[in-house]
Structure 1
Amino acid sequence: MSSPKAPEDGQGGGDPPGDLRSVLVTSVLNLEPLDEDLFRGRHYWIPTTKRLFGGQIIGQALVAAAKSVSEDVQVHSLHCYFVRAGDPKVPVLYQVERTRTGASFSVRSVKAVQHGRPIFICQASFQLTQPSPLQHQFSMPTVPPPEELPDYETLIDQCLRDPNLQKKYRVVLNRIPARNVPIEIKLINPSSLCQLENMEPKQMFWVRAKGYIGPELQRPGAQG
Structure 2
Amino acid sequence: YWVPAKRLFGGQIVGQALVAAAKSVSEDVHVHSLHCYFVRAGDPKVPVLYQVERTRTGSSFSVRSVKAVQHGKPIFICQASFQQAQPSPMQHQFSMPTVPPPEELLDCETLIDQYLRDPNLQKRYPLALNRIAAQEVPIEIKPVNPSPLSQLQRMEPKQMFWVRARGYIGGSRGLVHGRLWRQDGVLAVTCAQEGVIRVKPRVSESKL
Q: TM-score, normalising length from structure 2?
A: 0.71
Structure-1 residue corresponding to 2:72: 116
Match of 1:79 among 29, 35, 54: 35
Contact 1:77–1:222 at 8 Å: present in 2 too? no
Counterpart in 2 of 1:39? none
Change (3 A) 1:191 1:111: same
Aligned partner of 1:201 in structure 2 is 161
Q: Secondary structure at the match of 1:188?
A: coil
| SS of equivalent to 1:84 | coil
The letter for the 2-side match of 1:65 is: A
Deviations 1:21-76 (A, max 9, x none): xxxxxxxxxxxxxxxxxxxxxxxxx52xx011111110110000000000011110
* CA distance 1:128–1:207, shift in 2 (3 Å): closer
Structure 1 pair 207–159 and aligned structure 2 pair: CA distance change class (3 A): farther
How far the C-alpha of 1:190 sits from its partner, in A, is 2.6
Alignment partner for residue 85 of structure 2, among 129, 140, 154?
Answer: 129
CA distance in 2, matches of 1:207, 1:182: 19
Question: What CA distance in whole angstroms lies between the structure 2 residues aligned with 1:222 and 1:108?
Answer: 20
Aligned match of 1:220 in 166, 177, 188?
188
Compared CA separation, residues 63 and 2, structure 1 to 2 (3 A): farther
Q: Once superposed, what is the RMSD of the aligned Cα atoms?
A: 2.8
1:53 counterpart letter in structure 2: F
Q: Which amino acid aligns with 2:82?
A: F
Q: 2:108, 2:124 → 1: CA distance? A: 19
SS state at 1:183 partner: coil
Matched, 1:186 2:161: no
The 2-side partners of 1:195 and 1:181 are apart by: 27
Which has the higher Rg, Structure 1 or Structure 2? 2
Q: Deviations over 1:105-160 (max 9, x none)?
A: 1100001111111111000000112335364x632111111111011121112112
Q: 1:85 offset after TM fit, Å?
A: 0.9
Amino acid corresponding to residue 69 of structure 1 in structure 2: V
Contact 2:61–2:81, Cα closer than 8 Å, also in 1: yes
Q: Secondary structure at the match of 2:44?
A: coil
Aligned pairs, number: 168
> Could you report, residue by residue, the CA deviation over 1:58-106 in whole angstroms, capped at 9, with x for unpaired residues?
0110000000000011110000001111122211111100011111111
Unaligned runs of 5+ in 2: 164-177, 193-208
- The amino acid across from 2:141 in the alignment is I
How far did 1:207 drift? 10
Which runs of 5 or more structure 1 residues have no equivalent in the other structure?
4-45, 209-218
2:188 is aligned with what amino acid? P
Query: Which residue in the other structure is 1:158 paired with?
Result: 114
Paired amino acid for 2:47: P
2:115–2:148 Cα contact (<8 Å) kept:
no
How far apart, in 2, do the equivalents of 1:83 and 1:112 lie?
A: 10
Partner of 1:148: 104
- SS in structure 1 opposite 2:124? helix
Measure, in 1, the Cα distance between the counterparts of 2:190 and 2:25.
16
Provide the TM-score with structure 1 as the length reference: 0.66
Partner residue in 2 for 1:69: 25
